[in-house]
Amino acid sequence: MSFAPFARRRGFTFIELLVAIIIFALILACVVPYVLASREASRRVQCQNNLRLIFYGMANYQKANHPLGYPRTRFDLKQAAWTAYTGADEANPFRADSSVAVNDVTASLWLMVRTGYLPDTSVFVCPSSDRVRDPMTNLAGAKVKPDQRGNFRSHRHLAYSILSPFNPLDQDTWAWNDTLPSEVALLSDMNPGVGGDDDVAAPQAGDDAKRLQLANSRNHGKRGQNVLYAGGNVAFVPHAFVGMGYARAETQNKPSLKMGDNIFTSLRGPPKTPDGAPLFDGPGVFGTNVAPSWTYDSYLIPSDDQ
């Protein structure tokens, strides 16, 4: 009786294994960026929907509280200063000795939670940011009702900025309601402020993309920000110069580049040149001691510095 010789199974050679690894790496290099880009695109859409919901909350608040207009807590228009996140456990942000400070921009947003026009605090969280929803608890950690709170618990619970409700100028023409011009920036991904690779006051209209990026929100990896305008439309924009007006950026390839007011700063100086042309291309100013500098100056606050 004879037996056929045992057939040895052939395994991968080192070269074949190396080729397989390279092919797999190439597939990953093609697929991963697509998956990440697709995920970010989806998050941008969700972020836009959040801004729309906040806008609808503001509109409904105005309808129910006319003629008070959009939500705004106690204010002192004689001072330029504004603040944020004061009086988180305040039951009445409107009383004279309230722990919610005057000109508190985040407490003004919180009014929509207190009154039920935005019952879910997750709407204030951009899915591309590191923020988390407010847990609706008191200082001791116990669950409370929305009207038992006067503000966000901390900066970690808010990922968006709003046009300053405290404009000390032109009170005869400026109003905090739905009569704002449709091209005024009303809400956006959070103002990045100043520090590290953030400097909202540094870029000028017409700067290269890298320098313009200094003023971009951190919510979407400094690539740009979602902006909702007073007319209700929302768009993702690659730089912050998208407010009222336009600026002439004299560059080699774009001699009349159309850009608007920097939405994250207060305009420095008057909004017109000596010849009467709109001027929005200069560096603006930013800080808690700064207010809008003219009637429709887009100055969206707070920043992630607060």
Token pair listed for 234: 């929302």
The answer, as to whether pTM is greater than 0.85, is no
Alpha-carbon span 302 to 159, nearest angstrom: 9
Q: Give pLDDT, residue 3.
A: 54
Q: Give pLDDT, residue 174.
A: 79
pLDDT string in tens for the chain (306-residue length): 555 555 555 566 877 677 777 777 777 667 556 555 567 788 999 999 999 999 999 999 999 987 789 999 999 988 889 999 999 999 999 999 999 999 999 999 999 999 999 988 999 999 999 999 999 999 999 999 999 999 999 999 999 999 999 988 766 777 899 999 888 999 999 999 998 889 999 998 778 999 999 999 999 999 999 999 999 999 999 999 888 764 444 444 444 446 778 999 997 655 555 555 555 556 688 999 999 888 888 899 999 998
* Residue pointed to by tokens 């608890």: 137
Task: Give Cβ neighbours of residue 17 (< 8 Å, ≥ 6 apart).
Answer: none
Alpha-carbon span 225 to 243, nearest angstrom: 13
CB burial of residue 56 (10 Å; 0-12, 13-18, 19+) = middle
CA distances to 18, 207, 240 from 210, in Å? 39, 8, 13
Alpha-carbon span 135 to 152, nearest angstrom: 9
Q: Which candidate, 287, 167, 298, places its Cα nearest to that of 237? A: 298
